[in-house]
């Protein structure tokens, strides 16, 4: 008898050398490098190369990659026109998925059969480069404004912040956002990455595969949790309401958003990093702790008391929504597209890894329908 495991929980679906998690110790590593070190010493562009190539690049290679990535920020005019034709109230994730899929028409020879060709590698770089531009463009277009042209002289993080606001951000904000991109760049075989590699296993082109990943990330159980955390905090309203709110949700067996992760039995290392970065930014800039951040800290304290025995601690979404909303001033509806923008580096790496050693995914099922039967005679 074949055992059915809902959601394939804990079932190895592939072999990968891209990232790893030690859930007991709370360790996330990209190609063996701990995420804490990458946030401290690296940048998003270098991390994208590390995920792609398996090793940290030398200075010359990194500068060449940055130059290529930054020069390719611009989006094709046809894609821009297509985005203008879409409803302004359309889901940003639907728009992003549509735009990435449409990009394939400009790169018809980006083939899974030849993943190491200069042409296909160029297409993968183009996806990562354009992701930031597309997200920033839709933030402007959906508000009725013309997109702000990208600046190839700016880093990936700085250019996005500039395109989204029209103002050059200060160095502290850029570094903070760059760290967020690194933290979200990769996380083993989650639902969206699994979508990407299943699509890749059919030898679908990288645009189709990453478009599938974007569609999967759009689901509320995957990519939208940081929005839900912010809504929850706003619903709580005040620190004094935290305990009763949490107890009521637990009594009614409702989710405490941003709490718990299938892979970690202790606090998500990305949540720890984000919390420390927010506190450091507040202290360095002599800012008062926001009401929402105070509520979040109290939620964590109460949940630690009530849920830690069950191995439930904050995940990366718990603090990212506050950071995006209050420091970067992003609209909630753009949180998940920004997540996708960062994760494009991981998706591209997984696409290449899958097609380089490919076997098409074809799982089986446990049939629960009717037994064989005859069609009734009339």
For residue 126, the model assigns a pLDDT of 96
Question: Which of 111, 120, 106 has the alpha carbon at shortest distance from 77?
Answer: 106
335 lies in a domain? Answer: no
318 lies in a domain? Answer: yes
Per-residue pLDDT tens, the chain, 378 aa: give them: 688 999 998 899 999 999 999 999 999 999 999 999 999 999 999 999 999 999 999 999 999 999 999 999 999 999 999 999 999 999 999 999 999 999 999 999 998 888 999 999 999 999 999 999 999 999 999 999 999 999 999 999 999 999 999 999 999 999 999 999 999 999 999 999 999 999 999 999 999 999 999 999 998 888 888 888 999 999 999 999 999 999 999 999 998 999 988 889 899 999 999 999 999 999 998 888 889 999 999 999 999 999 999 999 999 989 998 899 988 989 888 999 999 999 999 999 999 999 999 999 999 999 999 999 999 988
DSSP SS3 for 268: coil
342 lies in a domain? Answer: no
Note whether 314 and 258 are within 8 A (CB): yes
Residues 6+ positions from 250 with CB-CB distance below 8 Å: 256, 306
361 lies in a domain? Answer: no
Q: Which residues of 252-282 are buried (b: 16+ CB within 10 A; e: fewer)?
A: eeeebbbbbbeebbbbbbbbbbbbebbeebb
Are residues 159 and 37 both part of a single domain?
Answer: yes
109 lies in a domain? Answer: yes
Note whether 34 and 28 are within 8 A (CB): yes
Instruction: Identify the burial level of 341 via C-beta atoms within 10 angstroms of its C-beta, where 0-12 means exposed, 13-18 middle and 19 or more buried.
Output: buried
For residues 362 and 201, give the distance between their C-alpha atoms in angstroms, rounded to a whole number.
Answer: 10
DSSP-assigned beta bridge partners for residue 259: 314
Residues annotated as catalytic (active site), given as ranges: 261, 317
Q: Which residues of 18-30 are buried (b: 16+ CB within 10 A; e: fewer)?
A: bbebeeeebebbb
Percent of the chain topping pLDDT 70: 100
DSSP-assigned beta bridge partners for residue 20: 29
Residues 6+ positions from 199 with CB-CB distance below 8 Å: 208, 209, 212, 213
| 250, two tokens | 């637990």
335-356 vs 191-201: helix axis angle to the nearest 10? 40
pTM for the model stands at 0.94
Are residues 41 and 136 both part of a single domain?
Answer: yes
Are residues 158 and 241 both part of a single domain?
Answer: no
Are residues 180 and 49 both part of a single domain?
Answer: yes
- Give the pLDDT confidence of 211-234 residue by residue, as tens digits: 999 999 998 888 888 888 999 999
Are residues 192 and 271 both part of a single domain?
Answer: no
- Give the pLDDT confidence of 58-87 residue by residue, as tens digits: 999 999 999 999 999 999 999 999 999 999
DSSP-assigned beta bridge partners for residue 27: 22
For residues 35 and 342, give the distance between their C-alpha atoms in angstroms, rounded to a whole number.
Answer: 14
For residue 106, the model assigns a pLDDT of 95
- What is the rounded end-to-end Cα distance, in angstroms, of the chain? 38
For residues 241 and 244, give the distance between their C-alpha atoms in angstroms, rounded to a whole number.
Answer: 6
For residue 378, the model assigns a pLDDT of 82
Are residues 39 and 130 both part of a single domain?
Answer: yes
Are residues 28 and 127 both part of a single domain?
Answer: yes
Are residues 184 and 292 both part of a single domain?
Answer: no
377 lies in a domain? Answer: no
Instruction: Identify the burial level of 94 via C-beta atoms within 10 angstroms of its C-beta, where 0-12 means exposed, 13-18 middle and 19 or more buried.
Output: middle
Q: Which domain holds residue 107?
A: 16-216+349-356
378 lies in a domain? Answer: no
Structural domains in the chain (count): 2
For residue 285, the domain's CATH number is 1.10.230.10
337 lies in a domain? Answer: no
Note whether 83 and 102 are within 8 A (CB): no
Are residues 178 and 55 both part of a single domain?
Answer: yes
């Amino acid at each position: 008898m074949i055992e059915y495991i809902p959601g394939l929980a804990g079932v190895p679906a592939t072999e990968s050398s891209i990232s790893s998690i030690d859930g007991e110790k709370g360790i996330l590593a990209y190609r063996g490098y701990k995420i804490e070190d990458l946030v401290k010493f690296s940048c998003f562009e270098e991390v994208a190369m590390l995920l792609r190539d398996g090793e940290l690049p030398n200075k010359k290679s990194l500068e060449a990659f940055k130059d290529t990535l930054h020069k390719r920020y611009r989006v094709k005019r046809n894609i821009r026109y297509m985005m203008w034709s879409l409803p302004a109230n359309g889901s940003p994730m639907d728009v992003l998925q549509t735009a990435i899929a449409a990009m394939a028409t400009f790169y018809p020879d980006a083939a899974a059969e030849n993943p190491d060709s200069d042409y296909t590698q160029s297409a993968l770089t183009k996806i990562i480069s354009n992701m930031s531009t597309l997200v920033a463009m839709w933030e402007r277009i959906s508000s009725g404004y013309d997109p702000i042209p990208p600046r190839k002289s700016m880093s990936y993080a700085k250019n996005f912040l500039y395109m989204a606001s029209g103002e050059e951000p200060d160095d502290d904000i850029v570094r903070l956002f760059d760290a967020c991109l690194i933290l979200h760049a990769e996380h083993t075989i989650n639902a969206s990455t699994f979508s990407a590699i299943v699509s890749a296993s059919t030898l679908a082109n990288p645009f189709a595969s990453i478009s599938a990943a974007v569609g999967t990330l759009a689901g509320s159980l995957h990519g939208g949790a940081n929005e839900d955390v912010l809504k929850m905090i706003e619903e709580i309203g005040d620190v004094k309401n935290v305990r009763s709110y949490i107890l009521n949700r637990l009594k009614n067996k409702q989710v405490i958003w941003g709490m718990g992760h299938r892979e970690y039995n202790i606090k998500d290392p990305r949540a720890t990093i984000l919390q420390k970065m927010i506190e450091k930014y507040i202290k360095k800039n002599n800012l008062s702790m926001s009401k929402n951040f105070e509520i979040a800290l109290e939620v964590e304290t109460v949940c630690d008391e009530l849920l830690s025995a069950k191995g439930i601690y904050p995940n990366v979404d718990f603090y990212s929504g506050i950071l995006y909303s209050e420091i970067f001033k992003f609209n909630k509806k753009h949180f998940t597209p920004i997540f996708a923008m960062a994760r494009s580096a991981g998706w591209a790496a997984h696409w290449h890894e899958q097609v380089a050693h490919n076997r098409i995914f074809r799982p089986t099922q446990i049939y629960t329908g009717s037994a064989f039967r005859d069609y009734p005679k009339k």
